[in-house]
Amino acid sequence: MNNMSIKRFARIHSLNKKVTKVIMATQEFIDSLADNEFWVSSSVSDTKKLADVNDKYDVDNNTFTSPKPYESWTFNSTTWKWEAPVSMPSQTNEEVYTWNETNQTWDLV
């Protein structure tokens, strides 16, 4: 791959592995930084998910995990997504649902 191509990079906190910053840059620019060992390239093909600030970097699986959206949700390590304990209803038109953590239901907005 061309070293001059612009890619998405995430700055990883060395202790808690949280993403503190996300930038678009070349590998050459990242390599020139004094803290270059804390920057990780982020693409769907490489890390399963684009990194966002506050995501956690999973070093062993080379992927990013978003913060848990609700206490009742569980992480699916196959899809790399958080899932509600109840599936969202089918959307036949343009319905919009929001998760109700108290009632453990999807509520129509």
Structure confidence by residue, pLDDT tens digits, 6-20: 999 999 999 999 999
For 40-62, how does the pLDDT look when each residue is reduced to its tens digit (9 = 90+)? 999 988 888 899 999 999 999 99
Instruction: Let me know whether 33 and 81 are in one domain.
Output: no
Instruction: Let me know whether 50 and 94 are in one domain.
Output: no
**What's the predicted TM-score (pTM) here?**
0.76
Asked whether residue 15 is assigned to any structural domain, the reply reads yes
* Cβ atoms of 65 and 55 closer than 8 Å: yes
Which structural domain range is residue 99 located in?
74-108
The count of structural domains within the chain is 2
Mean pLDDT computed over 21-46: 95
Show Cβ contacts of residue 83 under 8 Å, excluding neighbours closer than 6 positions.
73, 74, 75, 76
- Provide the pLDDT confidence category of residue 92 given band limits of 50, 70 and 90: confident
